[in-house]
Structure 1
């Protein structure tokens, strides 16, 4: 009815339709949408688009978390490979086992993330708000699990730091150790060549250097095949062995000259001892004539033994000369040492006969000097034992008293027509030695108490 508010007449609607028909198509559509909005505008899909945007944000955040976890795992795997390549300890083996367990967990959370991503197509035109909300929730939950696993992985990596530092230190040693070994081999080879150029064969050194060839082959094969620690150990062994060969090769000319010098010196000494040996028999003859049998019986075989020892020494010198001519340097040195030992023993035995006669002559002429020297050592020890004490310690007094009695018996033994002067000399020497031991004990005890 005309004039009634809130009513739209049919004629009005018809007029609007006619008016819209006369407008351009875009404007007509806009006006049409506006007529149903009561004169305003509204986005039909506004609420759905907001859910899609939230889900996309959750998807991007989960992707970033997945990337961070994957990167951390790959970096840590490299660290574990470094550790296990160098370290075979129980701690290293446990670290590898723990990393494998964490890897299983990473696989699980990664699978859940990928499943969540594959389950929701956020680019669909007909994406419903509920589907977008579900996608957002699942992706957010997947990100939380990825972050939690990443935190656990970071803590595990921190615990590996000491093992990793040790392994990196070993790896830092690897290349220099191998290079030093190679350079040492080269230096040894050059030194050997120089020695050979001077006319010395050095066959034993060449054989030792050749024995290192298999070790060099293994060094060249690398730590990947033989392990870092084993390669470092092998490099150190090669270095020491090669330096030994080089050093001996460099010293070889001097060694050859020293061998020549010792050959001449020992041959001259053997001749001198042979001459001195000839004088042993007259000394023994005088000992037998002037002193009792107890003073010289032990020296009876000296002349014969000396002659035999000199003969053996001369034979060793002949063998040493042959070894030197054949450039068997170790054999030559060994034979020279044997010859020297034989000559030393012979020299001492020959000297002992003359020294025996001299001492017996002195003491038989005047024994007071030997007695007073021994008594002085006794009195000095007794004063030391009494220093700072009213009575001596029995541990010290007893052996000193025994020494006094022993000296008295030795002096008393000189009475008679044919005293055993050699027994007297050996007894006084034994008394002085026992007194010296007591003095040493006293000083050590007082030194410990004072310290």
Structure 2
């Protein structure tokens, strides 16, 4: 923001005779008139000195205020600019009085009367006093804006380094892209992102004089961050390509392993059908077919990922590989479930008592904790434990039939243990919070 130039500043150059301090002149009259003329001349010289001091201080503060308003858009900065403008008007007023007084009296006249010299001295002394008072106001204003000026100068000091860092980051990003292309990696998306920064670089080169210091600093920071991100990604491209290649090989191998393992599911299912009731294995019936379908889908997706890698669509390739990994994990778990089911059913069929005792131990442990330090248990703890006891008893009773549903028994005992664990956790939370 450019502030108006005060009237006084424009008049300094226009009035050389006003500050000359007198010229060569002849002196006539008595010693008293000469003394009065000398007093008036001294008052004129003192007023001229005060005027110059005020003008210099105003010029210096104008630079300070322009610095502040160029950098700082805060209300405090706006108020400082308004106050300086008001002071400028006050300076114009006292400068006008001073200049009028100088113009009113020709102290070099041979016939200057003593009374006129006295009036000149008084008016010039009064003008000097006003100039000094306004100078003091200006000095006080300068002190008050010291913190604003300090912040503005700090911002200005940041400007050139920030712009240079942004330019250097752009050069680094461009060099990294050239290296990646030299390695046969297109990086078209990164090149497009770098090209999009071209207009921003143009604005940086146009400078803060056109776009303002705060906006230029913000632009430099944005360009720096984006250019650094482009450079980092470009430098990672060879590593990223190698990583995708490695994952492709690994997932192909894993898909083959899952397909091989899926061949063992049918014999396991045959054993389950022969030895256990239908409820123990019906949910596993579709595992072989589902696994085969998953493996076929995985092979298609791996082909898609390979094409994306060849076309350097890195994000697409990575996304497809993540999907493949999830599919293989699910298929692997499904294949493992059949063998795990047979092992667990074998164990409980041979000795269900071990599972029963394990579950009763978990319940008793939870019950002891619920009663610790209490005459009666908290209903929030006792109720789920009592229900769990009944659930276990019913599960044990269910084993008495000719073809027991061992899988139902195992899922029930596992649910009972989970209930006991939740109650134990609740009790400890209550006691930790001072509620138990």
TM-score by length of 2: 0.86
Shift of 1:336: 1.6
For 1:163-312, list aligned pairs within 5 A.
163-312=148-297
For 1:115-130, list aligned pairs within 5 A.
115-130=100-115
**Structure 2 vs 1, CA of residues 49 and 264 (structure 1 numbering), >3 Å: closer, same or farther?**
same
In the alignment, structure 1 residue 104 sits paired with structure 2 residue 89: yes
Counterparts of 1:73 and 1:125 in 2: how far apart (Å)? 37
In the alignment, structure 1 residue 46 sits paired with structure 2 residue 31: yes
Q: Which runs of 5+ in 1 are unaligned?
A: 1-42
Aligned residues: 408
**Structure 2 vs 1, CA of residues 344 and 48 (structure 1 numbering), >3 Å: closer, same or farther?**
same
For 1:60-139, list aligned pairs within 5 A.
60-139=45-124
Counterparts of 1:127 and 1:144 in 2: how far apart (Å)? 24
Shift of 1:142: 1.7
Counterparts of 2:351 and 2:186 in 1: how far apart (Å)? 64
Counterpart among 353, 356, 359 of residue 371 in structure 1: 356
Counterparts of 2:132 and 2:431 in 1: how far apart (Å)? 73
For 1:424-439, list aligned pairs within 5 A.
424-439=409-424
SS in 2 for 1:401: helix
SS in 2 for 1:414: helix
Shift of 1:267: 0.8
Where does residue 3 of structure 2 map in the other structure?
Answer: none
Counterpart among 338, 341, 344 of residue 329 in structure 2: 344
In the alignment, structure 1 residue 330 sits paired with structure 2 residue 315: yes
SS in 1 for 2:111: coil
For 1:363-402, list aligned pairs within 5 A.
363-402=348-387
Shift of 1:399: 3.2
Residue range with higher mean Cα deviation, 91-100 or 214-223? 91-100
Counterparts of 2:382 and 2:34 in 1: how far apart (Å)? 114
Where does residue 140 of structure 2 map in the other structure?
Answer: 155
SS in 2 for 1:125: coil
Counterparts of 1:196 and 1:146 in 2: how far apart (Å)? 71
TM-score by length of 1: 0.84
Counterparts of 1:404 and 1:65 in 2: how far apart (Å)? 102
Where does residue 415 of structure 1 map in the other structure?
Answer: 400
Counterparts of 2:417 and 2:44 in 1: how far apart (Å)? 101
Deviation per residue, 1:404-436 (Å, 9 max, x gap): 333333333333233332232222222322332
Counterparts of 1:160 and 1:71 in 2: how far apart (Å)? 17
Deviation per residue, 1:85-124 (Å, 9 max, x gap): 2221222222222222222222222222222222222222
Shift of 1:315: 0.8
Shift of 1:314: 0.9
Shift of 1:75: 1.7
Counterparts of 1:246 and 1:392 in 2: how far apart (Å)? 64
Counterparts of 1:407 and 1:166 in 2: how far apart (Å)? 74
Where does residue 58 of structure 1 map in the other structure?
Answer: 43
Where does residue 14 of structure 2 map in the other structure?
Answer: none
Shift of 1:448: 4.1
Report the structure number with the largest CA radius of gyration.
Answer: 1
SS in 2 for 1:201: coil
Where does residue 20 of structure 1 map in the other structure?
Answer: none
Q: Which runs of 5+ in 2 are unaligned?
A: 1-27
Counterparts of 2:341 and 2:224 in 1: how far apart (Å)? 56
Counterparts of 2:399 and 2:79 in 1: how far apart (Å)? 84
SS in 1 for 2:109: coil
